[in-house]
């Protein structure tokens, strides 16, 4: 018998992504989010959801583009800071010493030290409530060579991304392989 609990946002696991934008003065900014995910394979698209009160919201509304820089666990302190401070009154790149690089594909900056970057153009803006969802078409990807396999595909263990546990207010790294996908389930096929 399951217990009923009040609706909340504790579905899991969530990503930890850093959304890069320029403000009106071309100052680069970056904000950490957990409300996002892949939403379409063809064309490839991902979503990020932001509150209207954030500085990044205004920047995306202005230029219609953003990057997603995926942090490695070694940059967890910087990623946490990117979710605490506001670009309204701070230059988060200067504060952390990380390097903003202008995307060659969209008019937005990414975090050079992070291993995997998605360059996105907004194709849908969905007003949902406290959050606005920006659906971005992925127009480009940039990656550090050492996180790519021989076919040029990013490897999760090399990216060393992490997830967010809201209940315990912790970031968790990746764990062991628990199964082969599109494979182990075949035992139930008739």
Residues 120-159 that bind a copy of itself (CB under 8 A): 123-124, 126, 128-131, 133, 135, 138-145, 148-149, 152-157, 159
Going by the DSSP 8-state scheme, the letter that residue 154 receives in this structure is: B
Give the contact letters, 11-50, x = binds to a copy of itself (CB under 8 A), - = no.
xxxxx-x----------------xxxxxxxxxxxxxx-x-
Asked if residue 21 lies in contact with residue 32, where contact means CB atoms within 8 angstroms, the answer is no
Asked if residues 125 and 132 have their Cβ atoms less than 8 Å apart, the reply is yes
Considering only residues 161 to 180 of the shown chain, the ones binding a copy of itself according to CB under 8 A are: 161-165, 167-180
Whole-angstrom distance, CA of residue 62 vs CA of residue 70: 23
Is residue 56 a contact residue for a copy of itself (CB under 8 A)? no
Smallest separation, CB 48 to a copy of itself (Å)? 9
Terminus-to-terminus CA distance in the chain, angstroms? 31
Q: Which of 58, 63, 64, 73 binds a copy of itself (CB under 8 A)?
A: 73
Min separation Cβ 25 and a copy of itself, Å: 20
* Spatial distance between the Cα atoms of 122 and 141, rounded to a whole number of angstroms: 15
Taking the least distance from each CB to a copy of itself, the nearer of 27 and 131 is 131
- Closest approach of a copy of itself to the CB of residue 103, in Å: 10
Closer Cβ to a copy of itself, 6 or 24, answer by number? 6
Q: How far is the CB of 69 from a copy of itself (least distance, A)?
A: 11
Residue closer to a copy of itself by CB (options 18, 59) is 18
Burial 53-72, CB ≥16 within 10 A → b, else e: ebbbbbbbeebbbbbbbbbb
Residues in CB range of 18: below 8 A, 6 or more apart: 30, 31, 32, 33, 68, 69, 70, 71, 79, 82, 111, 114
């Amino acid at each position: 018998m399951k217990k009923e609990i009040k609706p909340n946002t504790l579905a899991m696991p969530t990503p930890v992504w850093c959304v890069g934008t320029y403000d009106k003065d071309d100052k680069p900014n970056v904000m950490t989010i957990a409300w996002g995910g892949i939403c379409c394979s063809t064309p490839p698209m991902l979503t990020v959801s932001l509150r209207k009160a954030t500085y990044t919201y205004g920047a995306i509304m202005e230029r219609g583009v953003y990057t997603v820089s995926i942090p490695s666990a070694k940059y967890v302190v910087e990623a946490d800071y990117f979710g605490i401070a506001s670009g309204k009154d701070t230059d988060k790149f200067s504060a952390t010493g990380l390097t903003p690089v202008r995307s060659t594909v969209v008019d937005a900056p990414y975090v050079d030290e992070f291993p995997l970057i998605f360059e996105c153009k907004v194709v849908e803006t969905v007003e949902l409530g406290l959050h606005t969802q920006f659906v971005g078409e992925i127009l480009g990807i940039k990656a550090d060579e050492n996180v790519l396999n021989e076919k040029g595909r990013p490897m999760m263990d090399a990216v060393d991304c992490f997830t967010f546990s809201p209940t315990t207010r912790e970031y968790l790294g990746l764990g062991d392989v628990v199964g082969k996908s599109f494979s182990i389930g075949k035992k139930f096929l008739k």
